[in-house]
Amino acid sequence: MDALDLSDEYDRYAREQRKLDRKEHDSANWESQRQKVAQAKRTIKRKVLDFQHKLTTWLVTEYDVVAVEDLNVKPMLETSQNAKNKQDAAWSQFIDLLEYKADLHGTHVKKVKPEGTTKECAVCGVETAKPIWVREHSCPACGHTEDRDLNAAKNILYRGLKQLGAGRSESTPVQTVLPALTPQREAVGAKRVIEAGSPEA
């Protein structure tokens, strides 16, 4: 599915809010403009909900397993400069819809711990710290390189499959960067994973 683009809706909301700020508070014009602001906000919420319904329906009918991060969204909203987008993404609402529809279609939804998903190599398991602006994962142990988000998504998938008992069992967490001591996991099979909102910690 195509990503949800709300840039036009947010632009409209911002314009209406600026107009409201220029009105005399509690005047007739202010009240009329307040309603326009509220309508713009409702439009955003409606489009988000519609997209989530379509996405969750597609996921549970297309795939047998969906693994997601068990995120604590509240502190992310309090500290992130991108809080508006995360809030309107309505993560809790998305998970509720996903789990409800998964029950109807017999799809497994697994929530996994998000810690370390962006650091851990999806091939060998070695953790490599990287700042948020580095968008490629490059493992110093096995040499594996790929998009940072894709690497994290695979780690989420492995964790979800492990909960199901369907993935390759993992040994004690690797404490070295020597390739000879890192279990290869690239051949694990699965159908789908969603990776969203990985903490960069």
Which of 40, 62, 84 is where one domain is finished? 62
List CB contacts of 143: < 8 A, sequence separation 6 or more.
179
Q: Are residues 24 and 104 in the same domain?
A: no
Amino acid (one-letter) located at 196: A
Q: What is the pLDDT of residues 98-153, one digit of tens each?
A: 999 999 999 999 999 989 898 999 999 899 888 889 999 999 999 999 999 999 99
Write out pLDDT tens, residues 132-141. 899 999 999 9
Query: Is the domain of 166 the same as that of 177?
Result: yes
pTM beyond 0.95, yes or no:
no
Which domain covers residue 28, as residue numbers?
1-62
Give residue 4's pLDDT band: very low, low, confident or very high (50, 70, 90). Answer: confident
Task: Check whether residue 44 and residue 143 sit in a common domain.
Answer: no
β-pairing, 65-69 with 136-138? Answer: unpaired
Residues 35 and 86 in one domain: no
Backbone angles phi, psi at 61, to 5 degrees: -90, -20
Domain finish residue from 62, 88, 103: 62
Q: Which residues contact 100 (CB under 8 A, 6 or more apart)?
A: none
